[in-house]
Each structure stands twice: as C-alpha cells, then as structure tokens.
C-alpha cells in the first residue's frame, strides 16, 4: 500500500518499502517545500509526477549513477569539445535552463517539470543547493542541465539540447569539474541510452543508500561562481 505523506512531517518511509511495480514508487503527497526536497534527496528519493497528478516520490532499484572517473567521452564528442564550438557556464541562468528542460519533448506526453516544480527548484538554487549548466552557441542557449549538489554527491535532474551534442558537452564538462572538486557519484535516477553512452550504469538501491550515508556530509572543493568554463 502506498504511503501518503502528511504536510506536517518531513519523514519518508524506508526505501525498502518502495514498490516493485511501478519500480521505485515510494510515497505520495506532501509538498515541494525546500526542506522536504532536501530531505527527500538525503533519504534517497526524488519527486516525479505528471501535471494533474498528486506529488509522487520515487526510489528505483536499481539506481542509475555515473562515477566521475568512469565518464566515457567518445571520439566524436571529444572532437566537438576540442573545437570549442560551445561556451559552457555554471549558474548563470538557472531559470532559463529549468524552463527549457520543461519544454515539451517529441517523445513524451506533457512535462513533469510543472510550474510549481520549477518554482521549487529555483528556490533551491537561490539557497545554494541547486545548480545549472548552460551551453551556448554564439550567445544562444542551446543546451544545459540542472541538479542538486550535496556533500560529495550530485543529483542530476534533467537536461535539454537544441543543437547536436550540446547537452553531452555540458554534462561532460560538469562531470570533469565535479571529479576535480572531489565528488564521488552522480545520481542519474533512471537509465537512458544518452546517459549510458556517457558511462552511466546501474547499482543496487542498497549500494546507492550506502553512498548517501557515507558521502552526504563530507566536504568538497566546489566553486559554483558564475563563470565561463
């Protein structure tokens, strides 16, 4: 039976109570307050729901992750990065990135990044928890991604691309920077061919939870000041 969260508590049910079908559905209800969202990521779950649905919280098993030192850059992607066609920046326009990620996709019905979801993560960005990567071509925003950084872990949320390899360039640049900053794992949530081509793989949820326990409260050397990469 699905657990419904009251608004007056931030406690989530144990991860092992998540459903097998649909894979990882852990709880419903609650809200998108900054404190609840931070607690959700610390607990090992994330919100995902379609417009018109109640808020749903997920913790899939297995969990798709990428270890920064396992980043795979294909020859074609390496060539694009050497050409420096794109300008990559951090935290210069979080609102524009999440808005672009929310745009309809040809392969999907509607968007899960609702207006309330955007507002919630913009607030997390204002508090220094959520970060964006912008990819520009001659000043035009053509790709990017956003997610949360906590301890030595980065929780990726969504990415978009309006030009060939734009999101891959942004993601690869971020991973290289996270590796240099001492991050040990990037949460990718669910598998996609796009992420797998960059080196993402699946690990048991229990192993993912162990990384949370060990690395969430350790320090990193990150510097998210807006600047050109």
> pLDDT tens digit string along 174-216?
999 999 999 999 999 999 999 999 999 999 999 999 999 999 9
pLDDT the model gives residue 86:
96
Low-confidence ranges of the chain (pLDDT < 50): 107
pTM, rounded to two decimals = 0.95
Q: Give the E-state strand segments of 99-221 in sequence order.
A: 130-137, 140-150, 153-161, 185-189, 201-203
The CA distance from 183 to 166, in Å, is 23
Q: What pLDDT, on a 0 to 100 scale, did the predictor assign at position 208? A: 98
Token output for 150: 């906590």
Query: In the structure encoding, which two tokens stand for residue 127, read together?
Result: 């508090």
Cβ atoms of 22 and 56 within 8 Å: the answer is no
Cross-strand pairs, 163: none
Show the tokens assigned to 167.
Answer: 């999101």
C-alpha to C-alpha distances, 43 to 10, 129, 212, nearest whole angstrom = 10, 16, 8
What does the pLDDT read at residue 51? 85
Q: Assess contact for 95 and 64: CB atoms under 8 A.
A: no
- The reported pLDDT for the residue numbered 97 is 98
Model pLDDT, residue 110: 53
The tokens of 79 are what? 């060539």
């Amino acid at each position: 039976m699905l657990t419904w969260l009251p608004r007056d508590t931030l406690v989530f049910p144990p991860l092992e109570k998540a459903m097998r079908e649909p894979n990882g559905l852990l709880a419903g209800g609650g809200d998108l307050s900054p404190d609840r969202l931070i607690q959700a990521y610390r607990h090992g779950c994330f919100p995902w729901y379609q417009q018109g649905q109640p808020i749903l919280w997920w913790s899939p098993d297995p969990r798709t992750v990428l270890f920064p030192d396992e980043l795979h850059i294909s020859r074609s992607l390496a060539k694009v990065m050497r050409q420096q066609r794109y300008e990559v920046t951090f935290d210069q326009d979080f609102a524009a990135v999440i808005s672009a990620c929310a745009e309809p996709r040809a392969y999907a019905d509607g968007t899960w990044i609702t207006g309330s979801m955007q507002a919630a993560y913009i607030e997390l960005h204002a508090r220094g928890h959520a970060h964006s990567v912008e990819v520009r071509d001659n000043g035009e925003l053509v790709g990017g991604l956003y997610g949360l950084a906590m301890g030595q872990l980065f929780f990726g949320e969504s990415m978009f691309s309006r030009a060939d390899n734009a999101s891959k360039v942004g993601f690869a640049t971020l991973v290289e920077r996270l590796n240099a900053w001492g991050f040990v794992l990037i949460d990718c949530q669910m598998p996609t061919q796009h992420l797998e081509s960059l080196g993402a793989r699946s690990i048991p949820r229990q192993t993912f939870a162990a990384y949370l326990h060990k690395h969430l409260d350790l320090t990193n050397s990150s510097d998210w000041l807006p600047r050109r990469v």
